[in-house]
Every structure is written in C-alpha cells, then in structure tokens.
Structure 1
C-alpha cells in the first residue's frame, strides 16, 4: 500500500489511441486523477466511466488531468472505448497484476465470463510531483466515491490549501 505523501510507483501504460501515457511525463496544474477500473465485463465500471465523461470538463477546469486504466487487453480496451460513451477519457490497458499490487489494488479471480484476474476499483489523486494525495481503494465493485464528492473535495482542498491526510 502507498501512503499519502509518498511517491507513487512509476507507471507507463498503453492507451487505446496507440500512444503511451507515462506518469512521470504528467504536469497537471493541480492533480492527476488515475481511475483504475475492473474492465469491460463490469457494468458498474461502464456507469462510472460514463459519469466521468459527463463531468470531465469539471475536472479539467480544476486543473486535474484524468486517465482510466484496466488490466484488459488492447482488443478489449479498444472495444470498451468504442462501445461506451467515454470518447474523451484517456483509456489505458494492459496494467499488470504486479503493477496493480504495487498500487495496493485488490485483485480478483474471475467468475463466469470475467477475465482470469483483474483489479478491483481504485481512485488516486496525485500531486504534480507524483506523490499520493488521496486514494480510495475498493475490494468490491460497489461503494465507489461519487464524482460530485470528489469534485467537492478538490474544491475544498484548493480553497483551504488542505494537506494530504493519512500519512502517519
């Protein structure tokens, strides 16, 4: 597990637009938000990412760059990008289970038509220096933070110059 105020693990991830996204290359005004999602098989993820698409401008207005990442293969991730209403969200794929564990994500074994192994959800806000500011990690597909709550939190953080918490 990574504690707040610690440097996040380096991350280089392929995107569905055939480019590579690197955490160390990010230079947001305020935060980078990484949303780890379960994959195309997850209807809750579809709802979450489509909600994010609708609110993406609100994150951008607050100086937050956004990426969504799964362990899905390139083929599955590209189908996700085409079939879900998420055209403006950078969509990364191919996260390894080892990388996911380095981020403290929970890993599930697939049942029914799920992949053999995949991550459970996680949301990270990172500072421009790539240190962890806020993390929310779930062991189930349910109970994820709502984006209105995240946006409200970011507003408070920026207004009050509120420090990262949970580091002790």
Structure 2
C-alpha cells in the first residue's frame, strides 16, 4: 500500500467518523463555519496520549475561542467511550479511524506490540489545522508517542496565522 501525504494549501476530501455520544461528524475537510484543528491520538492503550489530551482539555477554552477542536483514534466505540468517561474531556471525541484513512492523512501506522496494548493497527499522533474552506493550513505528524506539538506554542502560532491571514508554508 502506498502512503500518501495531504498537500497543504489544498482542500482535502471530507472524512467522517463516528463520535462518542452522538452520530457521525466530518472530522477533517469540507466547509466549516470556522477554522478547525483535528488531533489524532494512538488510543486508549497510550498513557502519553492521555497526558497530551488532558493538557488539551485544560486549555480547550482558549483554543475554542479561535477554532473547532476534534480528536480521534482507531479505537472502538467502547474504548473511546471509556476514555471519555474516565477523563471527562470536553472536546469532540471520535473513533474508528480506518487504516486507509490514516494513510490518506500521511500518518505513521503501527502494529500492536502485544494483545495487552491493542488488537489492531493504529495511527501515531498527528495534528491538522484547516481553514473554513477545508484547505489544509498546517500538518504535524509523529512516528511515535513522545513527539507532540507544544499546545501553547501551536495555539499562539495559529492565532497569528488566523489573525494575519498568513499564507500556507512548505509548498515549494
């Protein structure tokens, strides 16, 4: 299977996933009323993901002033709902990310080290910022759980980009 990478500055195909406590939602791509940020996490098995997402939840009011926030993993509905209930997150949490969707986003994909970790392939972390027209402004992907964007720095940069209508970088 060939991995692809979405092109910044271009509209990307809308991707729909089921959401904890609701129906499906378009998590990336498509027209939206405002800027949006889509975070992908490894899943319930990852303690580093929980730390990152707990930090995100703590600063969510600051983020929500500027952008819609959606988080997703390849987890099952049961695993995602268990995380949502355990941690009391306030952001929209989606699940069921398929391997073809991971690859379409250019994410690194890992297989479980054991059944205790999880039972299926899963995406490594990623963050995708989109303009209201569905075009991709910024991409941050990692091949492992230890490399994550600094949420304060990322938000500061996104506020600057939004306020100043900055052009997309990295297109050459």
Whether the TM-score (by the shorter chain) exceeds 0.5 is: yes
Q: Which runs of 4+ in 1 moved over 3 A?
A: 23-26
Cα displacement string for residues 114-134 of structure 1 (whole angstroms, at most 9, x for unaligned residues): 223100000000111111100
Corresponding position of 1:111: 113
1:3 is aligned, of 2, 7, 12, to 7
Separation in structure 1 between the aligned mates of residue 165 and residue 29 of structure 2, nearest angstrom: 24
Q: CA deviation at 1:156?
A: 1.7
Corresponding position of 1:80: 83
1:150 is aligned, of 138, 148, 154, to 154
What TM-score, normalized to structure 2? 0.90
Gaps of 5+ in 1: none
2:74 aligned with 1:65, yes or no? no
Separation in structure 2 between the aligned mates of residue 124 and residue 28 of structure 1, nearest angstrom: 17
Question: How many positions carry a matched residue from both structures?
Answer: 165
Considering only aligned residues, what root-mean-square deviation do their CA atoms show, in Å?
1.4
Asked whether the equivalents of residues 29 and 135 of structure 2 are also in contact (C-alpha less than 8 Å), the reply is no
Asked whether the equivalents of residues 50 and 85 of structure 1 are also in contact (C-alpha less than 8 Å), the reply is no
Separation in structure 2 between the aligned mates of residue 34 and residue 155 of structure 1, nearest angstrom: 16
Corresponding position of 2:56: 52
Q: CA deviation at 1:26?
A: 5.4
Separation in structure 2 between the aligned mates of residue 143 and residue 50 of structure 1, nearest angstrom: 16
Cα displacement string for residues 29-69 of structure 1 (whole angstroms, at most 9, x for unaligned residues): 3x11000000010011101111111111111112x001000
Q: CA deviation at 1:161?
A: 2.4
Gaps of 5+ in 2: none
1:16 is aligned, of 14, 20, 23, to 20
Q: CA distance change for structure 1 residues 35 and 164 in 2, over 3 Å: closer, same or farther?
A: same
